[in-house]
Structure 1
């Protein structure tokens, strides 16, 4: 009996099955320190216990995207070890903060399958949830990946494509218990701009850029225990380049967005996302944002902004797609999310 695991191929998935992912992870202040070493993350709520407590939370949580990476990383050996590409996200919700000392584990339900026309690969849709040590769901999201087939000539399964919400309604969002921005300290947060200062259709160039280093990407991917082969093994690609983990681009762009969105403190919803073009070591990530929508949440002093965050490697800011509707070559990430901000 073989002791090693080659990972799942497209033929190995069945709609309706639930996959419990291995290796729970207890997070600590070390994750925060490493996250802030890897990315220029400066949002005050995730940097200071005292600031978080002034906003009604018991302490500073782990960065929302750090929690996402931990939950995501658990899924890789079962979902995307043999993936050709991670194609998109939908219906992502952060349901409760993650604090140092929490232990996270993940499970995924297969909700869709569709073989590609070339017969060599197919798309797998999964709904993943991350739970803490008390069995409470801290986040859930849908993603879809293109996965190699073990045998190109094998029979295709019935195509089942899930019906997903294009945008989460504000009523779908969960505001952390106790969150209160009525006494929010804008000086300590770093910028004076509040919810009412942003208008739908407004665009923000986040100005700064960060050049991606191979070592930092490798460290980040190992930190999240992401074992996807294309991030480590240069022999798997004809060009000899290791792909930069898409989550690395997401976190870098989110951190860069501090300049102009310092008060967009918490990500609570992920409406959609696409890794439009690959990122490689040596690329310089820049970012811009478009305000897509605004909503009140009912929590004291807390508003929600729907934001489109775009990461690029050059090109003009605020350019996204060509006349053919396809992403322009310099666009790496197109992410649509909801964030909480003081009103």
Structure 2
């Protein structure tokens, strides 16, 4: 058979390394499309001159655009037959991505666990995105629930990897040359610096954006994400295309500009969960909570650990019910580190 039906749970082997197709050369058009799809206004990713004033050679590609590009490459091998993408951990952006860079990706299977129903299982992979020089620009762990192709296939030995609750502040990779000592708060859009945020503080980002069918499919195709649930309306019993979780992440991140305009660069992904599915017509809103603060060795640069929550409504700052489960209006719960001027 020449066509690719995708991998099923029984097709994965602990420790195997999976190289992903297809190499992708990033252009400035990537940034323009990303900013057309999301209300992204981060100054560092919008202006070469602003980026140069912050010690970089120019404006890099948005951190989440780089994430989506790498993630999309993994889909044909990891999640083409996925029931759900369950979570993320130990994500680190290790170097900026520049227009002209060519990205490839590989994943290593680090965990396997068959579910009690015998029809599905969970696969843990560590994915690395590399540039044309072989340097790792991004690394993260995700776990996915995948269908079994043959329900009678024997269950593998259960191995659940031990993952860190968060990337340590000392392990954050600050881009070489980044310097916020001359940071222009007026051009960035808000006056709030690292010291203006308190641990435990919560921010309602106020704005909302309604997801449209066409835009999410355009975005998902842009990242070359081929997961069937995002395009094929016959693949789900309810006949609805599932919105790619990364689309929700980017929309929520863009909405968080209102209150976090100076959280310029995401450098780590501590954890994340797509708590409930998102469908076309949903209006996404967002709120954030400051979880931690840390200094860095880079001049004028601090780090904030932030929880970003995307919702489809409901009261701001509500997350879980008395049973500990996510409330029905919570779409995304994301824990990340961002670099902020001090």
CA apart distance, 1:186: 0.1
> What is the alpha-carbon distance in structure 2 between the residues aligned to residue 299 and residue 27 of structure 1?
27
| Equivalent residue number for residue 46 of structure 1 | 45
Provide the rounded CA distance (Å) in 1 between the counterparts of 2:287 and 2:217: 25
Q: How far apart, in 2, do the equivalents of 1:94 and 1:66 lie?
A: 12
TM-score, L = length of structure 2: 1.00
Report the equivalent of 1:213. Answer: 212
Flag as ranges the 4+ runs of structure 1 deviating above 4 A. Answer: none
- Structure 2 partner of 1:270: 269
Q: Which deviates further from its counterpart, 262-271 or 151-160?
A: 151-160
User: How many Å separate the matches in 2 of 1:84 and 1:301?
Assistant: 44
- Write the distance in 2 (CA, Å) between the matches of 1:246 and 1:101: 27
Whole-angstrom CA distance in 1 between matches of 2:137 and 2:217: 26
Counterpart for residue 159 of structure 2? 160
Match of 2:169 in 1: 170
Residues in 2 aligned to 1:155 and 1:103: alpha-carbon distance in whole angstroms:
40
Tell me what 2:304 maps to.
305
Output the CA distance in 2 between the equivalents of 1:38 and 1:175: 27
For 1:303 and 1:268, how far apart are their aligned partners in 2?
12
Partner of 1:117: 116
Deviations 1:222-271 (A, max 9, x none): 00000000000010111100000000000000000000000000000000
Q: 1:166-217: CA deviations, max 9, x gaps?
A: 1111011100000000000000000000000000000000000000000000
Aligned partners of 2:338, 2:304: CA distance in 1, in Å? 5
- Residue 113 (structure 2) pairs with residue 89 (structure 1): no
Is the aligned partner of 1:56 residue 2:55? yes
- 2:196 equivalent in structure 1: 197
CA distance in 1, matches of 2:172, 2:299: 15
Q: Distance in 2 between matches of 1:297 and 1:215?
A: 41
How many residue pairs align between the two structures? 342
| Displacement after TM superposition at 1:298 (Å) | 1.2
The answer for the alignment partner of 2:129 in structure 1 is: 130
Give, in angstroms, the shift of residue 325 of structure 1.
0.4
**1:293 alignment partner in structure 2:** 292
Counterparts of 2:12 and 2:296, CA distance in 1: 39
- Confirm or deny that 1:146 pairs with 2:139: no
Two-structure CA RMSD over aligned residues (Å) = 0.4
SS at match of 1:85: strand
- Distance across 2 between alignment mates of 1:25 and 1:340: 27
Deviation at residue 153 of structure 1 after TM alignment: 2.0
How far apart are the structure 2 equivalents of 1:12 and 1:187?
A: 54
Counterpart in the other structure of 2:101: 102
Structure 2 residues without counterparts, runs of 5 or longer: none
Task: Provide the rounded CA distance (Å) in 2 between the counterparts of 1:179 and 1:83.
Answer: 39
Aligned partners of 1:301, 1:209: CA distance in 2, in Å? 32
TM-fit CA distance, 1:152: 1.3
For 2:4 and 2:166, the matched residues in 1 are separated by 37
Aligned-partner Cα distance in 1 for 2:236–2:93: 34
Partner of 1:77: 76
Report what 1:255 is aligned to: 254
